[in-house]
Structure 1
Amino acid sequence: MNFLAPLAALPAPLPTPKSGFIVNPALNPAVGTGEGIPILQLFLTNFITLALGAAGVITFFMLLAGGIQYITAGGDKERTQNASKRITHALIGLVIVFSIFAIIYIAETLFGISIREFTIPIIN
């Protein structure tokens, strides 16, 4: 019976739902079923959060690219000016992204509303 010992290390099969629906265990249950208004609300909430986060990351990498471009300019006046413009534009973008974050959080705190979470009213 020792030859069956490696089989004990195999993962157990996933239970199948009794309702007849196919379930993907890799999906987060917070995502929902994809039906109606709740999934649209969740999509818009996640889209705003993702867009602001991506804008911050892109701005950081543009700042990094401008710094590398400035370092590798080698004293060339035109390349140095281009790098300085890129750094300036990246910093302006970073200020804009952080300002948007700040405005959203200040508005949520002052007015008691949740801008990042949508509630779409249902018409009866």
Structure 2
Amino acid sequence: MANLTDIDTQVQPFFAIRSLDTFLPNLIQIVLVIGALAALLFLFWGGVSYITSGGDKEATKAAREKITNAVIGLAILAIVWVLWRLIVYFLGLSPGFRGPFRIQIPTP
């Protein structure tokens, strides 16, 4: 049986901010994913409400509004994502994207 001697027993924080250039993109990505999941859930809820409205005019109208709002939310999220990718590209904030000029964010 092999002995393990190099085990790191120090507890690492789950959400540690090591530098701003990694924190901000990760935060925006998390917010976009949560927003997209919420919009898709709202879209699903509107669809189920529409199906179960049973011909009631008010219930159908409310379900259509839910679906419309969910689609608008997804469109806004898509626009924000495109704008974020353009900002990252043109400012060169991500190592995977090289823009016309580069801003170096100092790290401790």
Output the TM-score relative to the length of structure 1: 0.62
**1:1-124 matched pairs, under 5 angstroms:** 13=4, 15-16=6-7, 22-24=9-11, 34=16, 39-41=18-20, 42-109=22-89, 111-114=90-93, 120-121=105-106
Report how many residues are paired: 98
- Residue 74 of structure 1 aligns to a residue whose secondary structure is coil
Q: Distance in 2 between matches of 1:66 and 1:12?
A: 57
RMSD: 3.2
Q: Percent identity?
A: 29
| Offset at residue 119 of structure 1 (A) | 6.2
Describe the shift of the 1:60–1:15 C-alpha distance in structure 2 as closer, same or farther (beyond 3 A).
Answer: same
Q: Distance in 1 between matches of 2:31 and 2:3?
A: 39
Q: Distance in 2 between matches of 1:14 and 1:75?
A: 69
Q: Distance in 2 between matches of 1:79 and 1:12?
A: 66
Amino acid at match of 2:84: I
- Residue 23 of structure 1 aligns to a residue whose secondary structure is coil
| Offset at residue 74 of structure 1 (A) | 0.5
- Residue 39 of structure 1 aligns to a residue whose secondary structure is coil
Q: Point out where structure 1 has 5 or more consecutive residues left out of the alignment.
A: 1-7
Q: Point out where structure 2 has 5 or more consecutive residues left out of the alignment.
A: 95-102
Choose 1 or 2 for highest CA Rg: 1
Q: Distance in 1 between matches of 2:51 and 2:38?
A: 20
